[in-house]
Structure 1
Amino acid sequence: MSETPVTAVPTIRVQEAGFDLAAETAALSAGRADVGGIASFIGLCRADDGLQALVLEHYPGMTERAIAGIAAQAAARWPLTGCTVIHRVGRILPGEGIVLVLAASRHRTAALEACAFLIDWLKTGAPFWKREEFAGGAERWVAARGEDEARARGWAERRG
């Protein structure tokens, strides 16, 4: 029997509102008997060094297209049965969710690897600009980290 997946169109949202892991997981697997596992990643805003808030900006339309391209790459590399990427924008407080990535497949390895690929590429390939706000009104823009770039480059060197 063939293991060719029935890949659903990925769910991609860029929004100010928070997200609900349980609801998004249920939506991804609803009516899908071919889903054997769903891997998830939730990125949270940390209160490092007195951080009061993280402000994320983006270009509407461009950001969603970039994320869709990253999701298409994941679907080409792994036999996914579905994928959800939700990224928040606006002012996010410590403890709140920033990003949710779900990857569904018939088998856990594909789901886990695709989830890792998606978040690694989102960190470097999706056009978001991050500004940190601190007590007393201080703020700074967050530069790309070399380790994030290296992780994304690493995926180019290995097969799914």
Structure 2
Amino acid sequence: MRIVVQAEPFDFGAEANRFAAGHTDMGAIVTFTGIVRDLAQNPLDRMVIEYYPGMTEKALEKIATEAQERWFLGDVLVIHRHGDLRPGDMIMMVATAAPHRVDAFEAAEYLMDFLKSRAPFWKQEFTADGAEWVASKDEDEDALKRW
């Protein structure tokens, strides 16, 4: 398991290749990357993501450990950025390795749903109208109910 919280951009291809390397006993590698998207109504200048060092990593580790306990996984990777991000920037990456694809896909979805709703990150969007904190969305909360 590897959990990383960083300000710097990451190379998705390099991270995916590094994660997959050596997993000859795994039949499935699932990866997902989240990207900062522009706002439809009011163009996004930037998003600022804040977190508490130490606490956030422990929370991400707990979510990843829960995934490993629930599905048969060989490995888990979570990378999440903080600081100033612009539309099009990669914000996070999840990767799971499992002997079979169902475990890898379901665990990745689980991680993404919990990262979206429960990971201790605070996001503020900056537009021409000013700054606004990103609130939890009902659909994100509803996604957790299936787990």
Code of the aligned partner of 1:44: I
Code of the aligned partner of 2:124: R
TM-fit CA distance, 1:45: 0.5
Counterpart of 2:84 (choices 91, 101, 104) is: 91
Code of the aligned partner of 1:144: S
The alignment partner of 1:154 has SS state of: coil
Residue correspondences, number: 145
Alignment pair present for 1:15 and 2:3: no
Deviations 1:107-130 (A, max 9, x none): 111111100000000111210000
Code of the aligned partner of 1:19: F
Match of 1:3 in 2: none
Question: What is the distance in 2 between the residues matched to 1:132 and 1:20?
Answer: 24
Counterpart of 1:147 (choices 139, 143, 146) is: 139
5+ residue gaps, structure 2, are none
Q: Is 143-152 or 89-98 further displaced after alignment?
A: 143-152
- TM-score (ref. length: structure 1): 0.87
TM-fit CA distance, 1:27: 1.6
Code of the aligned partner of 1:98: I
Question: What is the distance in 2 between the residues matched to 1:20 and 1:35?
Answer: 23
TM-fit CA distance, 1:24: 1.3
Match of 2:16 in 1: 25
Question: What is the distance in 2 between the residues matched to 1:23 and 1:95?
Answer: 18
TM-fit CA distance, 1:143: 0.6
Deviations 1:122-150 (A, max 9, x none): 111210000001126x1100111111111
Name the structure where helix makes up a greater proportion of residues: 1
Answer with 1 or 2: which has the greater Rg.
1
CA RMSD of aligned residues (A): 1.0
TM-fit CA distance, 1:25: 1.6
Code of the aligned partner of 1:41: F
Deviations 1:82-114 (A, max 9, x none): 110000000000000011000111111111110
The alignment partner of 1:32 has SS state of: coil
Code of the aligned partner of 1:152: L
Match of 1:41 in 2: 32
- TM-score (ref. length: structure 2): 0.95
